[in-house]
Amino acid sequence: MSGLANVQFWAFVGVVAGIYTIFALGLQLQFGFTGLLNFGHVAFMAIGAYTMAILVVKVEWPLWLSALVAIAVSMLFGLIIGLPTVRLRADYLAITTIAFGEIIRFIAVNQQTLTGGPQGTINLTGAGRASSYNREWLDFQGWAQDQLEVILGDHATRDLTMLVLVWIVAVVLIVLLQFMVHSPWGRVLRSVREDEDATSALGKNVFSYKLQALAVGAAIGAIAGLFFAFQFSFFSPQDFDPLTTFFAYVIVLLGGTAKNWGVPVGALIFAFIFAGTRFLDFWPLSELTSADRAFLRLIVVGLILIGLMAFRPQGIFGKKEEMVLE
């Protein structure tokens, strides 16, 4: 690849890493700090992306309002799924949440008039309008790109602009989560993770705190869905299969359970393996086709997860005392 194309490609990899950082932060709050084994986290990402797209394209609401409503709807769904499930433990909660994720995906597949069906948002009525999303987003992105051009000149491409935007939001969310988990509220979440009965005996409403963690994590997952929609414009139900949630678990476990600043490190490593290895052309990768490399990256991700569980289950930055895996 040429120099400019190389920069653009790695900027794209950085954007993917930023989106997965935001997505995994929601799971970090639910799983790492509260001990909720949520295997359907991708549902909140899908709800955020589809709600925003539907409101902008079909209802023709302003982008900023559609994005806020999408986050609120994801939080509402988090409460709805949490009310009957957060009392469940471990594997029962995992089974229920993965079923919830699949229900959302199959609804998106079958409600063609609402979501575009298997063809995704490219099939939405009025999808040609500003690349499916309000001109306001394109105008804002253009303004941000103009500001970046002051520093980078002609190298300030769309992907570089998105790279800056998504990582600004990711860092802000990490700082906010750091503040939250070190507050009295966050200390209760840790105690819920360690011993629900003891926490309840101290007068804390365990059920309420679990619901709160699920709702806040759902909001963060929806923000990741918004950026996914902004970056890829058109998306389909296949983009929100259960494997996406397991990728987030790999990121959380790789960076370290209950370590917010470990999430971006895990996401960068994951994005390099998942998106970058297809275009590396040195030996022995040069002997493989692009399709073969696509399968190879999944094998590498699996081997990393196996290695972590065998040799460092607490992750790169995690502590064994913070582990919630039984």
Q: Which residue carries 């991700």 as its tokens?
A: 301
The pair of structure tokens assigned to 106 is 């199959």
Count of domains for the chain: 1
Q: Which residue carries 């409403």 as its tokens?
A: 205
Q: Do residues 221 and 48 lie in contact, with contact meaning Cβ atoms separated by under 8 Å?
A: yes
Which of 62 and 216 is assigned the larger pLDDT? 216
User: Cα separation of 228 and 162, whole Å?
Assistant: 11
pLDDT of residue 156: 64
User: Cα separation of 221 and 258, whole Å?
Assistant: 17
pLDDT of residue 315: 80
Residues 6+ apart with CB under 8 A from 253: 266, 305, 308, 309, 313, 315
Q: Do residues 277 and 297 lie in contact, with contact meaning Cβ atoms separated by under 8 Å?
A: yes
206 found inside a domain: yes
In 3D space, the residue among 301, 299, 231, 242 whose CA is nearest the CA of residue 266 turns out to be 301
User: Cα separation of 180 and 219, whole Å?
Assistant: 15
283 found inside a domain: no
pLDDT of residue 132: 46
Which of 99 and 230 is assigned the larger pLDDT? 99
Which of 264 and 281 is assigned the larger pLDDT? 264
Q: Which amino acid is at 279?
A: F
pLDDT of residue 144: 61
247 found inside a domain: no
pLDDT of residue 154: 61
Q: What is the pTM of this model?
A: 0.89
* Alpha carbon of residue 84 to chain centroid: 24
DSSP 257-273: TT-TTHHHHHHHHHHII
pLDDT at 325 over 50: no
Q: Residue range 133-145: average pLDDT? A: 59
- For 240-254, the pLDDT digits (tens) are 999 999 999 989 988
Which of 325 and 54 is assigned the larger pLDDT? 54
Q: Residue range 33-59: average pLDDT? A: 92
Out of 196-210, 231-245, 307-321, pick the least confident.
Answer: 307-321
Q: Residue range 151-162: average pLDDT? A: 69
178 found inside a domain: yes
DSSP 228-255: HHHHHS---GGGGSHHHHHHHHHHHHHH
pLDDT at 80 over 50: yes
How does the average pLDDT of the chain come out, rounded? Answer: 84
108 found inside a domain: yes
pLDDT confidence of 155, banded at 50, 70, 90?
low
Q: Which domain holds residue 175?
A: 14-240
In 3D space, the residue among 280, 260, 263 whose CA is nearest the CA of residue 33 turns out to be 260
The pair of structure tokens assigned to 165 is 């935007």
User: Cα separation of 115 and 144, whole Å?
Assistant: 29
316 found inside a domain: no
User: Cα separation of 275 and 298, whole Å?
Assistant: 11
9 found inside a domain: no
pLDDT at 293 over 70: no
DSSP 8-state secondary structure symbol assigned to residue 125: T
pLDDT at 20 over 90: yes
Q: Which amino acid is at 147?
A: Q
305 found inside a domain: no
pLDDT of residue 260: 93
Q: Which of 114-118, 154-158, 299-303 has the highest mean predicted lDDT (pLDDT)?
A: 114-118
